[in-house]
């Protein structure tokens, strides 16, 4: 976990020196979420391939590691005042907090089968999800916000003084957790630890949300 911690410290230091991102808010939480998908996912992939940890043990360690940039963003109000700290904490839980669950789940599923480059596949999955959703939302719909399973979402133009926190954001991140659960169950199924009925139940729940 040393490389994971170092990556998050480097991220926190970078955020300190970038206006708008040096305060705990939706924008900084989205950046941390995007980075955490790859940092946590690649680290979990290595650990699962080595057979070191269980799914829940790995998830707990990765969630603990993503608290590093949170701690650094909680220090930044010393020079970058933040009047919406409570809202920022909420975004941090919704964005990187949930993204790490998805990343570990994807890593668990990919390492449940014999793949030559699971890290590369995980990276590709993260990039595709990060790009396709916003392109569809912003390109095909007259709106200035988008939700995303990897980085959480863009809640409005960066020049808006007050971002709109819609109920759809909570529903969408709940959907992200459902997808993470199904993917994790898939990883357990590959290891012979659950039945396919559990996976189908999760897919039905996801289908009900989309319906």
Q: What is the mean pLDDT of residues 186-194?
A: 93
Q: What is the pLDDT of residue 163?
A: 61
- Name the percent of the chain lying above pLDDT 70: 92
Q: What is the mean pLDDT of residues 135-152?
A: 79
142 is written with which tokens?
A: 């007259």
pTM for this prediction: 0.92
Please list the alpha-helical segments (H only) found in the chain.
2-16, 26-49, 55-65, 67-75, 85-94, 96-110, 118-140, 167-190, 196-210
- CA-to-CA distance for 153 and 28, rounded, in angstroms? 11
- Name the percent of the chain lying above pLDDT 90: 72
User: Any idea where the domains of the chain sit in the sequence?
Assistant: 2-210
């Amino acid at each position: 976990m040393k490389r994971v911690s170092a990556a998050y410290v480097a991220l926190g230091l970078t955020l300190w020196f970038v206006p708008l991102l040096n305060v705990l808010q939706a924008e900084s939480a989205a950046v941390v979420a995007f980075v955490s998908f790859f940092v946590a996912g690649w680290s979990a992939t290595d650990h699962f391939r080595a057979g070191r940890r269980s799914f829940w043990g790995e998830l707990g360690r990765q969630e603990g590691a993503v608290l590093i940039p949170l701690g650094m963003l909680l220090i930044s109000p010393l020079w970058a005042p933040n009047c919406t700290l409570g809202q920022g904490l909420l975004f941090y839980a919704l964005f990187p907090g949930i993204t790490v669950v998805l990343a570990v789940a994807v890593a668990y599923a990919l390492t449940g089968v014999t793949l030559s480059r699971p890290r590369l596949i995980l990276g590709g999955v993260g990039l595709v999800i990060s790009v396709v959703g916003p392109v569809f939302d912003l390109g095909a719909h007259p709106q200035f916000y988008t939700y995303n399973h990897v980085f959480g979402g863009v809640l409005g133009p960066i020049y808006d003084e007050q971002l709109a926190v819609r109920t759809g954001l909570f529903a969408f991140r709940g959907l992200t957790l459902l997808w993470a659960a199904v993917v994790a169950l898939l990883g357990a199924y590959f290891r012979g630890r659950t039945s396919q009925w559990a996976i189908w139940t999760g897919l039905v729940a996801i289908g009900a949300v989309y319906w």
